[in-house]
Every structure is written in structure tokens, then in C-alpha cells.
Structure 1
């Protein structure tokens, strides 16, 4: 995503007023009500309203609407990107353009383990951005996963996990660009020097390495899925029902269509990659990819002229739920910012931090803040100016702390069930609900998080 879109969400820490423990109430309301209702949008709205009740008392409706109106204007970028996301996926599906890749992929992915490996590799290949990884790996592998009876819950877990890890381990990603800029600002470096510091911190981004390995361990059944994920996998294997029991399987409109040339998928995707890489902006890549789909599919009669242009409206329509959840999460973040949630969490532990404990505390704080706010880059912008000077003052390993902060952001992105990454994965790719991800994937993330915490504890005393 564009750096501008995230830096506008920075939260001032020095002298920030907080509401203390009351700042935790809106987030708790969201989590508890989401578990009870099995929905995401309504709990987000409810939690936000509770936040504004604390802030504005009887004027909470006015305060909420003011925040919502302001967010709708500031979040126009997301509305456009998500809409283009929907258009691009809709065109690929209507043209059956993925069938050529699916046919080729099924020659390798003859079972669920190989399917998991292929999706893992594809997620890494599309490294430019977590959105991009979700799009590329998700669209290209969903049909293959379906054919091999992988539950959509497991598919969503893998796609989102790999996306959250890859984009921080490869510094050419948009995450790398943003983090480099944050380091230059915080450490007073010259333009371009921040990237060198990010590269030096990559070996210490333990969570990304650990989660990538755990994804493979789960897929190869070296560690068997457990809890509700185990039930989801058994359901898919034994009954062939890929979606949760209370969701209807979508009709496959391309079931009787002939497979099309693989170039109908590769050319738009390669163009999307190249343009995104050159301009460091996914929005431009999506526009070019959509235009190329029009130029290729209409002459081949894979989609009709009217149908192609109807996809513009349908793409935005199909992404409405995703957009509503993400914008609602941003409004909740506004309430959290005014309540001083981030300063409260950081200030609660800053007095007990020592040099050996700083890396693990930095990781845990960024993960928690990312999970409860859904703002991963925003929390990095908040915490870098605190954690890095603290590391220098305590004579802690600077690169270990940088790696812990960035890894904490990735962990927040992987765990936050109403964050943009999970919402895109569930809504546009896996076609499941965010709460399905929370109930099945969050427990699967606990073991890699525990291992990561142990690594940071050990590293803090060694390095």
C-alpha cells in the first residue's frame, strides 16, 4: 500500500492523553460480540459506538458520524483499490482465465500436501505487497485447493500467513519501502540508507521465518491441524463441503466451459507485477491488469462487451462487504487513538523494560496493538520513535529491536480478524467470514507465536 495512506494514521505518543484501562473496552466489545454473533461488521460498529460513548458521552452519535464521514473521505484510496481488486478477480473468473493455470497446477498438485506447497511457493513469488500476495496466490490456487479438498478455512490461513511473512522478508516489497522510510525518519538517516538497515534486521524477523515453516509443517501434516481447523479439514475431506456448514457452496459458472490458454492468466498477471514493481503502487498495477483483461478477453469472446463493462459495477459490488469492514476498522482505530490505547499499552510496560527484554516486549506490544487496532503500519509509525531510542539508551541490539518491531506488525496482520489483510483473504478469495478465520486460524497461530517469543527471549540475552 502507499506509504502516504498509512503515515496519516500515526498517533502522537509524547504527552498523549489516555483513558487508561477504559481504552481497552471497545476492543473487548468487538472481540466478544464477534464471537457471539459470528459476524465482523456489526461488532466493529458496536465497539466503535462504545468507544465514542466513553469519549463524547451523550453526543456519541454525532462523534461517531463525524469520524465516519472523515474516514470515508480519507479512505477513498482503499475503496478504489478494493473495487479494482474485485473487478480484476471478477474478470478472471468470468473469462475462466485461471483454468489454464489450474490445469497445469493440477499436474503437480496431485494431493493436499503438494497443493499446500504450491500455494506456499506462489505466495512468496508475489512478494510485492500482502494484498498482491493474497491476490496472486489466492486466485491462482483456489481451484487447485478445491479439487484436492482443502477446506477454505485452511486455504485462507495459508494464503494470509504467507502474505504477511513474505512482504517483510523481501525488502523490495512495499512494506520494505515503508519501514525504510520510518527508520530514516527515526534515526535521522539520509534517503536510501533506511533500506540497508532493514536488510540488516531481516535475520531478526523471527516470526516471519517461524510462521512460514509452521505453515509447511501444517500442510505436510508433520504437525496436524487441531481444534476447529481439524474439523474443517475433516469436513472437506469426508463430505466434500469446502465452506463452513452454515455457508452455501457457490455455483461454479465455469464448470462446463472449456479450459482457455494459460496466457490469458499469465499476461495480465505479469503486467500487473511489472507495473506494481516499477511504480511501487498496486493501484496502477491493477488498472493496467484490468485494461489488458479487456483487450484480451473481449476479442476472444471469453466475455461479452457488455458483460466486460458490467464487471466494473459487479466488482465494486462484490467488494462492498470487504470495504465496509475495513473502513469500520479504521473508524474504530480513530476511537482507539482518541482514547489513547497505544500510549496506554506502551506506557504500561516501558518502566520495566531492560535491554535483554526489549526485543520480546517490542514484538508482543506491536502484535497486540496490531491485533486490537488493525493498523499495522500505523503502529510501526507509533512505536519506532519509542523503541529505537530506547534500544540505543539501553545499549540493546538495534537490529534485533528493528526486526522485532517489524515482525510484531506482521504478527498483528496475521492475527487481526478484522484487519484489511484477513478481510481481503476471507471476502475476496476464500469466500468465508472473518469470524471463521478467527475461530480456525487464530489457534493455529498460537504455536508459532510462542516459538517466536522464546526466540526473542533467548536472542535478547545473546546478541
Structure 2
């Protein structure tokens, strides 16, 4: 696997260190891209070329459009008074801090079909509710983040499942889609990190486990001072969305303008997945935006006001799109420089049967953290991990193979969950309107606890079942 050695990890190191040091992730990522292209010998024109090549991809276009569509939809929800109406109904129940957090947890698990939509939706819907309950934005971002990718990777009817199954077909004794599907289902109980991550949110939200580390400080500030954001924080969302008021005189219709559009999105995404084996999430959002545009006009909102609302939705999504653009550029640069290959080369000598699941989990986690891409990690690690596992089992599907498959999935989610470069981490900060680095700092100790428990679990599996 061709790699530039240690030089290949420098851009990721620069991005992560500067993100925490400057608290400005956009600047940190831009500097990392410029330094990386120079180290790669691409010269002064390397950075604009990198932007052109990494952003002109179907992958980036998809996440950019999805983020933009969600921005428009949130703007529509607010202009019609739908979110305000929904929040008011919840406010009337006088939810406690515990109740608000548990509601966000359950809502995040319900919207499991898209790890991109889930954190944006949960954050946008729950923000005013958790603000009133004096729950910090950092805590809301953590809940939204921990119920997006971790839930998606556990469910057999998501794009994550289809992708992981596809990577397993043709390896060892896995020759058909049906056998790959069976492998995924058997691996769910061994996918320790996402299971622990989702359960840990519930334990924290219910108060069974008390907050600790930076999150404890953020929650204390919110409870005692009423500040859901720290002084000087930079929420990762445009003011167009956080300060938008409902159109004067419109009657809040929570079902028509909020619940029904959400059910339409869920139905279209799941329906297309069942019928076409591919959830058409972006198409679902586009359809609902058209539906709501027409609905708002019928409800009496002037055409100009509807178009201005749409524009404000796009503007509100720009901060996250800028950050995603640079994160994708760093990921593309890491791929060009062979970052993943370097990490794999460092660990190949330690891959022994009893340690295999644990080491695969660690390698996948480090790779996903450094690149900010769990799917990229899956694509690189799965073709290495599964053949290695099968080589130790004589091409037989055993617990070692199943655990190794799960370790790639869980490790990728763990690293992605911790990384400030990850799109789901960015989208969670966006949905909660939280400072991105504050979200990363407060979430990291919780993710590390779950990651540590998962690592111990893989060691136990390796020594007991292998």
C-alpha cells in the first residue's frame, strides 16, 4: 500500500491540534490543507487544485445538498411556526432537564435511517426545549451525535448496513448478498462501541451516570448561570436560522407543517430502501421542500416571503458547508498521501488471532479519527481485516470473523465520532447550534469511555472465543 510515511499524518495532526488551539476549525483545516499540499510536493497551486478535485465529487455534492435542503426545511418549520408550536406543546408539559434529554435521546434513535439528517433534525427540534430546561448546547450536540452514526451502523435497513455488507461479499466464504446480510446480523451483538455509546447517552440523560469532565462544567454553567453556550462561543449555524420568527398571523399547524413532512421523509427513505435497496434521502427532502413551498403559499404566506425564507435557509447552512468542504479536502489529501496505508503498515506485525478483533478496532478508530471518515475507513480496513480473520479460521465463518467484521464497523464509528474532521460531528454542532470545538471537547471523554469498554470487550472475545 503506497504511502508517504509519517509525513502522511502531518496534515491531520495540524488540523486537530490547531482546531483545539485556535478554536477556529475553518482556519485550522485551511492551514492543514495548505501545509499538506506543500509537503506532498504539489507547490503553491496544490491547495486550489485540492479544493477543485475533492469538492467536485458526488460524495461532497450529496452531503452539501442534503445539508442545504435541511437548512431550508428548518427555515420552513420556523417560518410556519411549526417548531415553535411543537416546542410550545412540549413546554406545556414542563419537561425537566432529565425529560428533555431523554426526549432528545429517543428522537435521535427514531430517526436512524440517515446519520446526516438525524443530528440536524434532533438539534433543530430540541434546541428551544433543552434551552428552556437549561441543558447546555454541548450536551444536546453530544446526544444528537451519539444517536446518529452509532444507531445507523446497528440497523440492518440503512445505507451503512448495505455498504458494510457490500464490502464483505466475495471475501472468504461470503459469496452472496444473503450471506453478507447474515454476517451483518450476527455481528450486531459484537458491535460493542455503538451499543455502548447509545446506552451511555441514556444513562447520562436519565441521571444514572453523572456528567464528568468538560461536559460537567458546561452543564453546571447552563444550570447555574442559564448560559447554554459559553461566553465567546461561535455556534456552527447562521443567525438566519437561530433568530428566525414565524410569519405574522399564521396559525401554527404542527401536524401539517412539521409532523407530516417528517413522516413523509421517513416513509420515502424507508420505502425506496425496501423497493430499490437504496434509501433516497436527498430526493425525499427535495420532495418535501416542494410540498411545503406549495403548502405555505396555500396557507397565505406571500411568494416573496417564502423565497426569502428559502434563501435564509441556504444562508444558515453555509457555516457547516464551509467546514465540510475543508474537512473533505483534508480527507482527500490523506488519501493521496497514503495516511491509511501508513497506519496499517505500523500495526500489521501485531495482528495475532487472539488480539485480532481488538487491534482491528484500534486501527479502524485511529484511521477514522485521523481522516474524519468512517466509510473511508471501512473501505480500507474491511478488505484487510476479513481476509486476515478467514486466514486464521481456515476460510470458515467463526466468532473471530464475525467479531473482526464488527470491530471494523465499531472502530470506524468510534474514530469518526471523536474526530473534529467528521461530517457527522460537524452536523451535530450545526443542529444544536453549538460551538464545534466545545462539542468535540465535551464529547471526547464520553466517547473514550465507551471506546475503552469496547476494546476490553474485544480482548475478552479474542481470548475466550478464539
Does TM-score exceed 0.5, indicating one fold? yes
Distance in 1 (alpha carbons) for counterparts of 2:376 and 2:47: 21
How has the CA–CA distance of structure 1 residues 195 and 100 changed in structure 2, closer, same or farther, with 3 Å as cutoff? farther
Give per-residue Cα distances to partners, 1:125-152, cap 9 Å, x unaligned: 1110111222332233222211211110
Distance in 2 between residues matched to 1:410 and 1:240, nearest whole Å: 33
**Corresponding residue SS for 1:273:** helix
CA distance in 2, matches of 1:106, 1:206: 36
How far, CA to CA, are the matches of 2:252 and 2:362 in structure 1?
A: 48
What is residue 75 of structure 2 aligned with on the other side? 90
- Which residue of structure 2 aligns with residue 310 of structure 1? 308
Residues 234 and 434, structure 2, Cα contact 8 Å, conserved in 1: no
Residue of structure 1 in register with 2:367 after alignment:
369
**Equivalent residue, structure 1, for 2:226:** 240
Counterparts of 1:415-430 in structure 2, within 5 Å, are 415-427=418-430, 429-430=431-432
2: distance between equivalents of 1:352 and 1:445?
25
Equivalent-residue separation in structure 1 for 2:27 and 2:68 (angstroms): 21
Residue 195 of structure 2 is aligned to residue 209 of structure 1? yes
Deviation of 1:295 (Å): 2.6
Quick check: 1:139 aligned with 2:124?
yes
**1:257 Cα deviation (Å)?**
7.8
User: 228-237 vs 386-395, which deviates more?
Assistant: 228-237
Partner SS, residue 360 of structure 2: helix
Cα distance change of structure 1 residues 462 and 304 upon mapping to structure 2, 3 Å threshold: farther
> What pairs up with 1:266-305 in 2 under 5 angstroms?
266-279=259-272, 280-301=279-300, 303-305=301-303
CA contact (8 A) 1:108 1:114 kept: no
Query: In the alignment, does 2:453 pair up with 1:451?
Result: yes
Give the 3-state SS of the residue equivalent to 1:222 in structure 2.
Answer: coil
Instruction: Give secondary structure in 2 for the equivalent of 1:397.
Output: helix
What's the counterpart of residue 253 of structure 1? Answer: 245
CA deviations on 1:346-371 (whole Å, 9 max, x unpaired) are 11111111111111111111111111
Q: Is the counterpart of residue 18 in structure 1 residue 3 in structure 2?
A: yes
Deviation, 1:255, is 11
1:398 has 2:381 as partner: no
- Aligned residues of 2:119 and 2:141 also touching (Cα < 8 A): no
User: Quick check: 1:62 aligned with 2:42?
Assistant: no
What does residue 238 of structure 2 align with?
Answer: none
Q: Write out per-residue CA displacement over residues 213-269 of structure 1, whole angstroms, 9 at most, x where no aligned residue.
A: 211222222222122211211111112221221138954635998872321211111
CA distance in 1, matches of 2:321, 2:180: 32
TM-aligned CA distance change 1:251 to 1:311, over 3 Å: closer
Tell me, yes or no, if structure 1 residue 383 matches structure 2 residue 381: yes
Deviation at residue 314 of structure 1 after TM alignment: 2.3
Q: Structure 1 residues 154 and 259, CA, compared in 2 at 3 Å: closer, same or farther? A: farther
1:256–1:217 CA distance, 2 compared to 1 (3 A): farther
Cα distance in 2 for partners of 1:174, 1:363 equals 21
Is 1:121 aligned to residue 103 of structure 2?
no
Q: What's 1:37 paired with? A: 22
What is the deviation of 1:108? Answer: 5.4
Residue 100 of structure 1, CA deviation: 3.4
Change (3 A) 1:118 1:108: farther
Question: Unpaired segments of 5 or more residues in structure 1?
Answer: 1-15
TM-score (norm 1): 0.91
In structure 1, C-alpha distance between the alignment counterparts of 2:312 and 2:43, rounded to whole Å: 35
Q: Does 1:71 align with 2:63?
A: no
Q: Give the Å deviation of 1:385.
A: 0.6
TM-score (norm 2): 0.90
1:157-189: CA deviation from partner (whole Å, max 9, x where unpaired): 011011121101111112111111111254552
2:441 to 439, 442, 450: 439
Cα–Cα, structure 1 residues 162 and 257, in superposed 2: closer, same or farther, change >3 Å? Answer: farther
Separation of aligned partners in 2, 1:38 and 1:197: 42
Counting only pairs closer than 5 Å after superposition, residues 162-181 of structure 1 correspond to structure 2 as: 162-181=147-166
In 1, Cα distance between the equivalents of 2:246 and 2:231? 24
Q: Match for residue 396 of structure 2?
A: none
Query: Are the counterparts in 2 of residues 39 and 433 from structure 1 also a CA contact under 8 Å?
Result: no
8 A Cα contact 2:358 2:407, kept in partner: yes
RMSD (CA atoms): 2.1
Does the 8 A contact of 1:115 with 1:145 survive in 2? yes
- Other structure's SS at 1:439 match: helix
> C-alpha separation between the residues in 1 aligned to 2:200 and 2:378?
25
Deviation for aligned residue 1:309: 1.7
Shift of 1:294: 1.6
